Structure 1
Amino acid sequence: MLDVAPTVPELPFITVEGIDGCGKTTQAALMVDALKRAGYAVLALREPGGVALSEKIRALLLDPAYTEMSDTCELLLYEAARAQLVHERIAPALAAGTVVVCDRFFDSTTCYQAFGGGLDRAVVGRANELAVGACRPRLTLVFDIDPVDAAARAASRDGSPDRMEAKGLAYQERVAAGFRALAAEEPDRVKLIDAARPVEAVFADVCTCLRGAGFALAEA
């Protein structure tokens, strides 16, 4: 732990993204640990969820029983969960100078509901803006992996697929293409990381990206 708190980049908000089975949750946990060891105050969150109301919405969104859920209903539920999370946890934490690491955020909605589900991207963008206000990530790490390999990883986990995972390989391929498109459109914020490699190699790239965004991590 540092004796003096490290310099905190303006709006220290980091999001992790990628298709189901990409390994982002593992990398997020490693990142949070590294930031804490470097002396940062860190708040780790997930989407959808993170607060009581948003967790209830998460249960609805991921329940495979709701096969009749429309694309528009899905979009609005995600945004409702996000708006509450921003209101209760993200905005106050950022105002206090806490580093926020969120497992998924509005880029997931762009990629899943627009690229994957076919909703108009401009409409999805406006819904995202309404939900998050000024709380936009400084750094977004996208863990890129072939959807076939990601599906194999996801299948190895315990439990049956949730409603989003059950949408199939073609859907996940469109989502993956969406994340790659975002990385090409916003290279300063969105960093594409090859997630097919061992965990340690992936995390080395994560640390490089964090340092590039102004976070003071010790060299390995």
Structure 2
Amino acid sequence: MTSSAPAPGLFIAFEGGDGAGKSTQAGLLSQALSDAGRTVVRTREPGGTPVGEKLRSLVLEHGQGEIDAKTEALIFAAARAAHASQVIAPALLRGDIVISDRYADSSIAYQGTGRGLGTDAVASLNDWATSSLWPDLTVLLDVAPAEGRLRRTAGAAQEDRMESEPDDFHAAIRGAFLELAAAAPQRYLVLPAGDDVPGLARAIAQRVQELLQHHAAMGAA
């Protein structure tokens, strides 16, 4: 899928396995852009809207009963449909920068590959759900399953329903993300999640600055 974010805004998604540090880097980028005078909308998936947050609890919290693979994919797509139409698209039309912790690539990886529903089927579902709204840039923080588990269980942290899946599930997810990035390198920035936090933040900020300059040049053309 290609980016279709409407001008003049910019849409950036952070992806990667559980425990990769997406929220940390999304927060650092958001702060840096805000400090530079940019209007930033920081959001997350599933969630971002009232209905999305309710669906988030259904699909991530333990104790919600059995959720089969197709139902899971549809719950994520429903939350994403609301998120895209109610939050992301309006912000982009205003000229804001949207930074989302996860987006449709997560469904392609987790449900398409991890749950065995097929990446093409899940990509098509999400393309329809979002009216073909895809990020201008996807930052993929690559983490090995064992390292991700160590990170997310540090201290008293408890794993959610998806995080608690076995390492072979998370290994399949990792491979799916890397395949997505390899198929569309112009839309991805792939970085090792184990690199130091400030170094990662600098690399991400540099790529985003280049994208903003390109975006501005295209708008002025």
2: distance between equivalents of 1:182 and 1:67? 31
Contact 2:12/2:100 (8 A) holds in 1: yes
Which of 75, 82, 85 matches 1:84? 82
**Corresponding residue of 1:119:** 117
**Corresponding residue of 2:153:** 155
After superposition, the C-alpha distances for 1:28-77 in whole angstroms (9 at most, x for unaligned) are 00000011111111100000001111100000000122352100000000
Deviation, 1:190, is: 1.3
**Corresponding residue of 1:100:** 98
**Corresponding residue of 2:185:** 187
1: distance between equivalents of 2:177 and 2:47? 21
Q: Identity over aligned residues, as a percent?
A: 34
Counterpart secondary structure, 2:170:
helix
**Corresponding residue of 1:5:** none
Counterpart secondary structure, 1:133:
coil
Which of 29, 38, 41 matches 1:40? 38
Counterpart secondary structure, 2:160:
coil
1: distance between equivalents of 2:87 and 2:73? 21
Query: Relative to structure 1, is the Cα distance of residues 169 and 215 closer, same or farther in structure 2, using a 3 angstrom cutoff?
Result: farther
- Would you say how many aligned residue pairs link Structure 1 and Structure 2? 209
Which of 56, 61, 64 matches 1:63? 61
One-letter code of the match for 2:81? A
State the 4+ residue runs in structure 1 displaced beyond 6 angstroms: none
**Corresponding residue of 2:4:** none
Query: Relative to structure 1, is the Cα distance of residues 106 and 12 closer, same or farther in structure 2, using a 3 angstrom cutoff?
Result: same
2: distance between equivalents of 1:189 and 1:10? 17
Contact 1:46/1:103 (8 A) holds in 2: yes
RMSD between superposed Cα atoms in Å: 1.7
Counterpart secondary structure, 2:88:
helix
1: distance between equivalents of 2:86 and 2:182? 32
**Corresponding residue of 2:164:** 166
- State TM-score, norm by structure 2: 0.90
- State TM-score, norm by structure 1: 0.90
**Corresponding residue of 2:128:** 130
One-letter code of the match for 1:68? E
1: distance between equivalents of 2:129 and 2:155? 32
2: distance between equivalents of 1:10 and 1:147? 37
Contact 2:136/2:187 (8 A) holds in 1: yes
Contact 1:17/1:104 (8 A) holds in 2: yes
One-letter code of the match for 1:128? N
Contact 2:14/2:139 (8 A) holds in 1: yes
Counterpart secondary structure, 2:41:
strand
Contact 1:13/1:101 (8 A) holds in 2: yes
After superposition, the C-alpha distances for 1:129-153 in whole angstroms (9 at most, x for unaligned) are 1111142100000001111111100
Counterpart secondary structure, 2:212:
coil
